Structure 1
Amino acid sequence: MEGVVRMYGATGGLKAARFSLVPVGNMTLYPVPESASRARRWFRKFMQSEGLACSMDDCTLLISELVANAVQHGEAETPWRIRVEWARVGDALWVDVHSAGHPSKVRMQEPGLGETHGRGLRLVHALADFWLVGASPYGGTRVAFVLDAAWSAEEP
C-alpha cells in the first residue's frame, strides 16, 4: 500500500511523508476491557521472531493504550470490533488501531492529579516518533503510531 499521510511528531509539528507499507500482522478484538491485555500478548507472540530493534515493552504499552482507548471511547449503534494492524515501513514499525466512533472525538486530555484515566495519548505522544488520528478505511476512527528504527537497517 502506498500513499501520503500527515502525522504529528512527538517533537511537535506536522509531517508529510510518502510511505510504502509492508503488512506484518493484524488482529481483531471485541470491544471489552480484556482486549488490551490480549492485544499485548498476541503482538508479543507474533513479533517475537521478527527481530525488532525497538523496545517490545514500548510497542505493547502503546498498543495496549490505544486498544483500551478504543474500548472505552468507541461507540456505534451496531456491534463492532477493534482491528489492530502492524506493518513495516522501511525500518519503522507502523501500528494502526481501528475502532467505532468519530475521529473528531479523539484528543489528548489534561487529567487532574487524582484522575486514573486520560493519559493514553500522552504516552503515545511521548514514546512514538509520530502518531496520527483520522478516519478509518473500515469506517470509524483510526489512531496510529510509528516507531522509527524498529528493525535493524540490514534486516530485509
Structure 2
Amino acid sequence: MAYTIDRYPCGDSPRLGAMTLYPEPESVPRARRWFRKFIAPYDPACSVDDCVLMISELVTNAIRYGKSDEPWLVRVEWYREGASLRVDVHNPGFPANVRLRHPGADDAHGRGLLLVDSLADSWRSGPSCFGGTVVSFVVADAWPA
C-alpha cells in the first residue's frame, strides 16, 4: 500500500482528514485525487482546484527535498479553523531549507512556493510536530462564517 487515509477524525477535532504517502512521484497525483475526494463532503466555498494545485506543489517539494537516513513518509493534513482551511505537508527535511525562490525564465524548477504564495491567503514553514519540516497554507473564507 502506498498511502493511508484518515477520513474519520474525532468529532471535536478541527482536523478534517490526513493522508500518509510514500516519497515517490506517484504520490503527487494520489494526493490530489484523495484530497479532492475527502474534502468534497465538507463543501468548501473556496477553489478546490487551487487547493489541489498547492497540495501538488508542496507534496512535490516534500518528496524532492525531504531527507532521512531511515525510510520516511510525507504526511498531508487538512483542518477547518473557523471559516478558513489550513493544509499542512510534513517531511523529514530541515525547516531552514524552505525558502521562496525567484527563478529565471529559463529555470525548470523553483516556482512551487511562488504559486502557493500567490494563491493562498498565507503560508508558513517551520519545524514539524513529527520531526523535520511542515509547510502550511491557509485559504481564508473557505466556508461561510
Q: Normalising to structure 2: TM-score of the pair?
A: 0.89
Distance in 2, Cα, partners of 1:47 & 1:142: 20
Alignment of 1:23 onto 2:28: no
- Give the structure 2 partner of residue 46 of structure 1: 38
Q: Per-residue deviation at 1:40?
A: 0.4
| Partner amino acid, structure 2, of 1:59 | C
- Give the structure 2 partner of residue 15 of structure 1: none
- Partner residue of 2:28 out of 32, 36, 50: 36
| Partner amino acid, structure 2, of 1:131 | W
Q: Per-residue deviation at 1:34?
A: 1.4
Distance in 1, Cα, partners of 2:52 & 2:81: 18
- Give the structure 2 partner of residue 127 of structure 1: 119
Distance in 1, Cα, partners of 2:48 & 2:86: 14
| Partner amino acid, structure 2, of 1:47 | I
- Give the structure 2 partner of residue 69 of structure 1: 61
Q: Normalising to structure 1: TM-score of the pair?
A: 0.83
| Partner amino acid, structure 2, of 1:58 | D
Q: Deviations over 1:79-125 (max 9, x none)?
A: 10000000000010010000011000111112121122100000111
Moved over 6 A (4+): none
In structure 1, runs of 5+ residues without a counterpart are 1-20
CA RMSD of aligned residues (A): 0.9
- Give the structure 1 partner of residue 79 of structure 2: 87
- Give the structure 2 partner of residue 59 of structure 1: 51
Select the structure that is richer in helix.
2
Percent identity of paired positions between Structure 1 and Structure 2: 56
- Give the structure 2 partner of residue 113 of structure 1: 105
| Partner amino acid, structure 2, of 1:100 | P
- Give the structure 2 partner of residue 6 of structure 1: none
- Give the structure 2 partner of residue 96 of structure 1: 88
Q: Deviations over 1:24-78 (max 9, x none)?
A: 0000000011111110000000011211100010010000100000011111111
Distance in 2, Cα, partners of 1:109 & 1:75: 20
- Give the structure 2 partner of residue 151 of structure 1: 143
Select the structure that is richer in strand.
1
Distance in 2, Cα, partners of 1:119 & 1:83: 21
Distance in 2, Cα, partners of 1:117 & 1:30: 22
Kindly tell me the number of residue pairs found equivalent between the two proteins: 133
